[in-house]
Amino acid sequence: MEKYDVCVIGGGPAGYAAAMRAVDFKKRILLIEKDRIGGAGIHNGALSSKTWWELSREAFALRTHCKSTNVPAPEHNFQILKAEVDKAVGKRRELLEHHMHNLNLNSHGEYFHHVKGIGKVIGNNVVSIKMDEGEDMEIEADNIILATGSRPRKLDNIPIDEETILTSDGIENLREFPKSIVIVGAGVIGCEFATIFSNFGQTKVHMIDKGNRILPFEDEDVVDIIENNLESKEVLIHRNSKLIDMKVENGMVVYTLEYNNGSKEIFHVEKALVSVGRIPNYENLIAGSVKINKDNRGIIDDLTQTSIPNIYAVGDITADIALVNVGELEGRYAVEKMFGVPEKPLIYENISTIMFLAPEVAGVGLNEVKAREQGIPYKVVSLDYSCISRAIAMRNTDGFMKIIVSNDDEMRVLGMRVVGEHASSSIEAVALLISMGKGIGELAELIHPHPSIIEGIQECVRMLLNKSIMKPGVLRHSMRCASFADGELKDVEFV
């Protein structure tokens, strides 16, 4: 039996990052991937959906420009756009394949090995591989990393066929823009696809969530902007209603909603997208004789280590946050833990996120919903994009930013949200402050380029220190400071 130091099962972002970190330690590694290297980080996931989002933004900007200059707007050809998405996905996959190939040509080749097949843990140190081509085999490994990711959650009463009723995996089966689509589950994936379809302006979008609003985990002020923008593009958000039936009839999706007053309504649309969360891929991954603790949210791990000490779990297969950057962080951490001491502790509180909506929403740390849930007293300052020169120059002042700090003299940064143009790049300074455990003083004194969106963050910080250039007391509609304590949110009065 071939023997390895590490066997990684699953070649998505988490597994690939783990394998590459093991190369740094000069360990003998086997990476097993059953399908396409890159996983949902590339295919039917992060990269493909972001390419659709970028294209949809360009299409929307073009339509808006044509309208303002009285020029007829061009039609968007689905096939041409899909070819662009396939090209982007292909480029990223080629990069990884090229990287793996070249690793094998140089000295790293003695460490890194890759096979295409389905891996299964059949002993604490033994993995069986059902090979894509050639004879199946078994290998021995001192350490095993489970990185098999997740898949879309399905609902018992919805007949998903990936042709008419789709999950995010079935988006690649579309051949044309549907004339209409209902999105079930208005979380991150649902709202990103609602943004994409409504930006192209060729699909009437309906949205349903089991909560009474979209993005139920996000703060109300953030959701308000996103909902307004979706509705301005004629997205129909079903509120206070419950999906009680969905079926396909004569090639169309027919769904029935029940409203709070007991009345019912039936809708007909061309397609449905079900995006109600994801579930971990651990079925058929671990033989019954190997006792690894898990629950329905994923493999239970203690900082990536499972209940069997030489078996680790990283990425979406665990119950932690399901993001590319988190999977990579966990994969690298697991290997550092295996072969030495991790350089940094594994902390989830500082993870930066972006939701690709209209406008984009970037965040780091706590939002107000979470702070209140956890009963943490906080102070929040917010500034409207209409006060930021760069947003004015971009002629897009739709958005705001807010910083949440501890409600004490120290004013430790707990989190922030930015909704608007350049949101993603403007959170980084604050993300760094949080990770360094620093207060807001440093940020108030930095010199930022002008005009830039990040100047707004600086003004928020100065507001907390009562030394902002614009005075909130006289710009009440666009600058705000409030404090939350004992279950109550109160505006803070400025002099």
Ligand X SMILES: NC(=O)c1ccc[n+]([C@@H]2O[C@H](COP(=O)([O-])OP(=O)(O)OC[C@H]3O[C@@H](n4cnc5c(N)ncnc54)[C@H](O)[C@@H]3O)[C@@H](O)[C@H]2O)c1
Task: Tell me which residues in 143-202 interact with ligand X (CB under 6 A).
Answer: 155, 184-190, 192
* Whole-angstrom distance, CA of residue 194 vs CA of residue 184: 11
Nearest CB to ligand X, comparing residues 44 and 143: 44
Query: Are 30 and 8 in contact, with CB atoms under 8 Å apart?
Result: yes
Residue from 209, 219, 227, 328 that binds ligand X (CB under 6 A)? 209
Contact partner at residue 327 from ligand FAD, ligand X, none, CB < 5 to 8 Å by partner kind: ligand FAD
Q: What are phi and psi of 403, to 5 degrees?
A: -120, 135
**Nearest CA among 230, 197, 196, 232 for reference residue 214:** 230
Closest CA to 13 of 109, 129, 150: 150
Q: Does 448 bind ligand FAD (CB under 6 A)?
A: no
Q: Within 240-259, which residues bind ligand X (CB under 6 A)?
A: 243
Q: Does 39 bind ligand FAD (CB under 6 A)?
A: yes
277 binds, among ligand FAD, ligand X, none (CB under 5 to 8 A by kind): ligand X
- Report 336-375 residues binding ligand X (CB under 6 A): 353-356
Q: What is the token pair recorded at 154?
A: 């399905």
424 binds ligand FAD (CB under 6 A): no
Stretch 268-307 residues interacting with ligand FAD (CB under 6 A): 281, 285
Within 10 Å of residue 261's Cβ, how many Cβ atoms? 6
* 160 interacts with, out of ligand FAD, ligand X, none, CB within 5 to 8 A per kind: none
- The CA-atom distances, in angstroms, between 360 and each of 19, 276, 420 are 32, 21, 6
Residues 179-198 that bind ligand FAD (CB under 6 A): 189
Give least dist CB 274 to ligand X, A: 8
Q: Which residue from 4, 11, 199, 204 is in contact with ligand FAD, where contact means CB under 6 A?
A: 11
List own/partner pairs for 264-269 with CB under 8 A and 24 or more apart. 267/182, 267/206, 269/178, 269/180, 269/181, 269/182, 269/204, 269/206
Q: In what order do the strands lie in the sheet containing 479-485?
A: 352-355, 361-365, 413-419, 400-406, 378-384, 479-485, 488-491
Report the site for ligand X in 278-317 (rule: CB under 6 A). 278
Residue 358 Cβ vs ligand X, minimum distance, rounded to whole Å: 13
Q: Toward ligand FAD, which CB reaches closer, 165 or 440?
A: 165
Which pair of tokens denotes residue 188?
């991150």
The contact set with ligand X (CB under 6 A) reads: 155, 184-190, 192, 208-211, 216, 243, 275-278, 321-323, 353-356
